[in-house]
Amino acid sequence: MQGIDIFDMRPLDASRKGTLEDPIIVPSAGDEQYAGCTGYPVDSHQVNWLTVSRERPIERCLECGNVVKMNYIGPEEDPHSHDHDHDHGHHHPPHVEPKTFADYVKPEYWYR
Ligand SMILES: [Zn+2]
């Protein structure tokens, strides 16, 4: 079962503005998740839908600069996982964060 469950969207945490260092966490059990940003304070701008995914978990609102990050909470089995090389000498435990946040704050990630 795959796809975006539109009806499972929860309102964003609008109590603060997400930053690269401390993004708004968007829990998702799917491969992709929409996050509707209306700025901070809430409704500062028209709703801007940010699409975050497991492959690109961090997105920044172009309207207000709010940063959201998808936190995958679903099962580990994923058709996309097969392209990882599992015979590289080190094995990761199944429930570890796939990447550290530092991997996503590289300048080339934002400016391209
Ligand atoms: Zn925004």
Boundaries of every domain in the chain: 1-74
To the question of whether residue 95 is assigned a binding role by annotation, the answer is no
The CATH code for residues 1-74 is 2.60.260.40
Per the annotation, does 90 bind a ligand?
no
Identify each DSSP E strand in 6-54 by its residue range.
24-28, 32-37, 48-53
Q: CA-CA distance, 74 to 89, in Å (whole number)? A: 26
Ion ligand 1 nearby residues (CB, 5 A): 37, 39, 61, 63-64, 66
Give, as one character, the DSSP assignment of residue 64: T
Q: Does the annotation place 37 within a ligand binding site?
A: yes
CA 17 to chain centre: 15
Q: Retrieve residue 15's tokens.
A: 């109590």
Tens place of pLDDT per residue across the chain (112 aa): 555 555 555 667 888 999 999 999 999 999 999 999 999 998 999 999 999 999 999 999 999 999 999 999 988 765 665 555 555 555 555 665 556 555 555 555 555 4
Paired tokens of 30 = 């799917």
